[in-house]
């Protein structure tokens, strides 16, 4: 057992390439064959510690799971399961977490689960608890997950930074979002973020995504750390971090600005794969760099042009779509995209036909509405879809009726050209002092009538913890502005949480506020 364990300890510190080479040498070595034969022969006479450590070492050295040796050790572990102490249980749990499910492994795992249920109150080591969580995994019954949660909470006073990092992974393995544990671990990580290896930062963000755990303070601490040490990291590492933030809907503003500068200073690292990720990140998070924004877009545009000879149809569509969301029209790439569209190469070459159709329609809308030659139409053809509103808009409808006095003072479920839809529309006089009846302005279209479009959007349409709209919503707002609407974005969940009286006052402020009629544009369309 000592020989096997030492071999594993030396082996695990090697690089992947060295491991492949050493593994072959180990397996071909006659002493290793004799050692395995001796373990197989003496399996039932091994002490409980030697048993679990031998299995652990052999599995992690890469001895195939279907060999007689590994299967025999697994069966002996089943027989001696009740004799294992907590430390041995922890080692066995770590081993099983890395093995494929087969008849013997599943039986041993089931037995281990029963043993943990009996012993959980006596396990006081948070490291052992983490190993058990990883082993039992997402298939563990809910009551056992709760027991493990309570056991961990008992030991949180001695939580260390490495344990906090491992706890995120353990909860991910169980697919169990324990807010008390995650909040405590997040606090510990924020205090010691400078000690975290880069890979661990990514694993934390990936775990948060899997567990649907959103902690703006944690994400900000990680982003601030990467931003303050950006000179230490490879640009590809920063891309991975930004991509993980984008998946969470979190906008690390300063880091995005710093990275944009790196792109303009040295764009050569932007191969096609990296370019597509960068475009997706900036477009979804609706981020236009605050400094040298035109240079940034010209740089990525130039990189896209260099990639055109080898880019696939779908990749081209995604790249142009991402730039279109930000209000930038890459002309050469657009021309090539439209050529491919005319040959039906965009809808026939991919499984996601509906998604591609939506992206292409969006690109064509951007070409029209974001063109410098587009002028605001005097009249926009609209259609009322239905007099009924969805349940999640009922409160808004009632608040507007109470505020304006009559349903004839606003429209609901309005369908616009370009497949855009608005939840409610009201019209005001040119001084923005008075709301006008819909029928009166329909009969006499007047260019001085102010049109307000209310969009009640889910929280997921905004960057996490902010009122900053993500790409698609920001593009819709920009295009509705082009069509002559003043757009009021409202986070529907927060609106639903308001008392009725507060909801009415909130809408009143939105309607009569000067801010409702401002046109803040964070796009680069003036560069086109």
What pLDDT does 301 receive? 94
Asked if 517 and 483 count as a contact pair (C-beta separation under 8 A), the reply is no
What pLDDT does 447 receive? 64
Parallel/antiparallel/unpaired status of strands 435-436 and 421-428:
antiparallel
What are the start-end ranges of the H helices in 175-234?
179-191, 198-211, 216-228
CA atoms within 13 A on the CB side of 442: 13
DSSP strand E in 350-441: where? 383-384, 411-415, 421-428, 435-436
Output the pTM of the full model. 0.86
What pLDDT does 158 receive? 81
> Nearest Cα to 161, choosing from 139, 124, 182, 190?
190
Structural tokens at position 433? 């002092």
> Nearest Cα to 187, choosing from 209, 165, 172, 203?
165
Confidence of residue 347 (pLDDT cuts 50, 70, 90): low
Confidence of residue 44 (pLDDT cuts 50, 70, 90): very high
What are the start-end ranges of the H helices in 98-215?
103-119, 126-136, 142-154, 161-174, 179-191, 198-211
What pLDDT does 522 receive? 47
Q: Cα–Cα–Cα angle for 152, 155, 157, nearest 5°?
A: 130
For 277-317, write each residue's pLDDT tens digit. Answer: 999 999 999 999 988 889 999 999 999 999 999 898 889 99
Contacts of 127 (CB under 8 A, 6+ apart): 90, 163, 166
3-state secondary structure 286-318: CCCCCCCHHHHHHHHHHHHHHHCCCCCHHHHHH
Q: Which of 176-180, 249-253, 338-342, 392-396 has the lowest mean pLDDT?
A: 338-342
Structural tokens at position 66? 């279907």
Can you name the residues that pair with 435 across neighbouring β-strands?
Answer: 428
The span from the CA of 386 to the CA of 476, in Å, is: 21
Question: Average pLDDT in the 70-81 region?
Answer: 94
Question: Average pLDDT in the 423-452 region?
Answer: 80
Structural tokens at position 363? 């690109």
The span from the CA of 385 to the CA of 220, in Å, is: 42
405: region left, alpha or beta (phi > 0 left; psi from -120 to 50 alpha) = left
Q: What is the CA radius of gyration of the chain?
A: 30
């Amino acid at each position: 057992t000592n020989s096997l364990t030492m071999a594993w300890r030396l082996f695990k510190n090697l690089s992947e390439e060295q491991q492949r080479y050493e593994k072959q040498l180990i397996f071909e070595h006659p002493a290793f064959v004799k050692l395995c034969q001796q373990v197989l022969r003496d399996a039932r006479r091994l002490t409980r510690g030697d048993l679990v450590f031998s299995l652990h070492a052999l599995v992690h050295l890469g001895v195939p799971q279907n060999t007689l040796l590994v299967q025999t050790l697994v069966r002996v572990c089943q027989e001696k399961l009740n004799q294992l102490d907590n430390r041995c249980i922890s080692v066995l749990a770590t081993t099983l977490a890395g093995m494929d499910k087969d008849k013997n492994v599943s039986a041993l795992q089931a037995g281990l689960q029963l043993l943990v249920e009996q012993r959980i109150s006596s396990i006081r080591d948070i490291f052992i608890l983490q190993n058990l969580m990883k082993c039992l995994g997402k298939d563990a019954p809910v009551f056992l997950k709760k027991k493990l949660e309570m056991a961990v909470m008992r030991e949180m006073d001695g939580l260390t930074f490495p344990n906090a990092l491992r706890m995120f992974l353990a909860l991910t393995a169980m697919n169990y979002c324990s807010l008390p544990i995650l909040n405590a671990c997040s606090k510990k990580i924020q205090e010691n973020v400078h000690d975290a290896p880069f890979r661990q930062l990514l694993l934390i963000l990936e775990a948060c995504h899997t567990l649907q755990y959103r902690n703006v303070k944690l994400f900000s601490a990680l982003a601030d750390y990467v931003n303050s040490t950006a000179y230490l990291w490879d640009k590809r590492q920063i891309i991975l971090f930004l991509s993980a933030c984008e998946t969470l809907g979190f906008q690390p503003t300063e880091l995005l600005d710093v990275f944009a500068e790196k792109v303009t200073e040295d764009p050569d690292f932007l191969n096609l794969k990296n370019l597509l990720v960068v475009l997706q990140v900036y477009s979804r998070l609706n981020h236009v760099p605050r400094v040298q924004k035109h240079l940034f877009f010209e740089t990525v545009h130039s990189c896209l042009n260099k990639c055109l000879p080898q880019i696939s149809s779908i990749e081209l569509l995604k790249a142009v779509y991402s730039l279109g969301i930000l209000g930038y029209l890459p002309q050469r790439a657009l021309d090539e995209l439209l050529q491919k569209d005319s040959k039906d190469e965009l809808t026939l070459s991919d499984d996601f036909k509906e998604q591609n159709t939506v992206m292409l329609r969006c690109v064509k809308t951007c070409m029209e509405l974001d063109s410098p030659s587009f002028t605001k139409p005097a009249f926009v053809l609209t259609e009322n879809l239905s007099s009924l509103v969805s349940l999640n808009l009922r409160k808004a409808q009632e608040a507007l009726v109470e505020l304006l006095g009559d349903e004839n003072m606003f429209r609901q479920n309005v369908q616009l050209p370009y497949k855009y839809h608005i939840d409610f529309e009201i019209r005001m006089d040119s001084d923005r002092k008075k709301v006008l009846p819909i029928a009166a302005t329909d009969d006499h279209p007047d260019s001085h009538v102010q049109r307000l479009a209310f969009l009640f959007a889910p929280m997921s349409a905004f960057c996490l913890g902010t009122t900053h709209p993500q790409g698609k919503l920001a593009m819709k707002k920009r295009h509705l502005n082009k069509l002559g609407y003043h757009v009021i974005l409202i986070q529907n969940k927060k609106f639903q949480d308001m008392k009725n009286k507060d909801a009415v006052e909130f809408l009143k402020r939105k309607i009569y506020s000067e801010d409702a009629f401002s046109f803040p544009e964070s796009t680069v369309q003036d560069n086109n």
